[in-house]
Structure 1
Amino acid sequence: MRQRTTLILLAGIFALFLNGFSLHAQTVEKGKPVVKTALSPVVQDSINPLQVSVDSLQTLGDLTFRLYKRKAHASYYHNKFNGKRTASGKRFDNNKYTAAHRKFPFGTKLRITNETNGKSVIVEVNDRGPFTKGREIDLSRRAFMDIAHNKNSGYVDVTIEVIER
């Protein structure tokens, strides 16, 4: 009985905690609460995880970012793939901001944010993969190095957001 009471109390506190954040949300014309952040157009600033609204939407100018996944494992392409064709038919270039994902359609723009240091990049999906278990997205080397906190690491934990117009 004591464990059940504690569990109910914790659930109530969690609900109050969530409601506190929705009070700071602004209503947009579609009726969805959205938190407006002061991110620069380059999107190199950090995202405060406490500023995500109830339905996980953020806006920046005319762009809307829809949360897809938190704590996703991202890795980067090896140089041996440079110049080879991707699944979309384009040639892969490790110096561009591109990515491989198993599900997103080709041409989808994603904002990838390193959860450790808050740096983010915008990439375009143009390939399928990664095919390693536990990895969610493969980034080009340039995109990966722009957000990596440790340049010697092979993967980082990221937040993936879909950019909608």
Structure 2
Amino acid sequence: MLKKSLTLFAIAFSAYIPFAPLAAKAETTATYYSSAYVGSPTASGEPYSEGAFTAAHPSYRLGTVVRVTNLNNGRSVTVRINDRCNCGIDLSRAAAGQIGLLSSGVAPVTVRPLR
């Protein structure tokens, strides 16, 4: 029984995907939240606000501050990760507007963690 429990633990532990390291800079695709999510709780527990400079990311730790740069126009914004997503990065409406993402809805970006 103990061996079976340890084996299951080893399998579960080996399947763990660690959070992205803070030194990583990555190219990905940015989108932005629909207005339908305003007031909905994020993974951090705070309600989503269109006016906040926040974002959802699949692997950075909640609370991580990142710099997102739109590769189409060079504009950047600093946001705090407060939610999870299944895409590259999902920005709040305010953050998307700052980098010129509202008209296209999607753009290639670099994401660089700051702290």
The bucket for the TM-score relative to the shorter chain is: 0.7 to 0.9
1:74 aligns with 2:26: no
TM-score normalised by the chain length of structure 2: 0.76
Displaced runs of 4+ in structure 1, greater than 6 A?
none
Distance between the aligned counterparts of 2:23 and 2:74, measured in 1?
A: 17
SS in 2 for 1:124: strand
1:101 aligns with 2:57: yes
Higher relative contact order (CA 8 A, sep 6+): 2
TM-score normalised by the chain length of structure 1: 0.54
Tell me which residue corresponds to 2:11.
none
1:115 aligns with 2:71: yes
Distance between the aligned counterparts of 1:118 and 1:66, measured in 2?
A: 21
Select which of 86, 89, 93 maps to 1:137.
Answer: 89
* Structure 1: gaps (5+ residues): 1-64
Tell me which residue corresponds to 1:85.
41
Distance between the aligned counterparts of 1:152 and 1:120, measured in 2?
A: 16
Structure with larger Rg: 1
Tell me which residue corresponds to 1:160.
111
Question: Percent identity among equivalent residues?
Answer: 38
SS in 2 for 1:143: helix
CA RMSD of aligned residues (A): 1.5
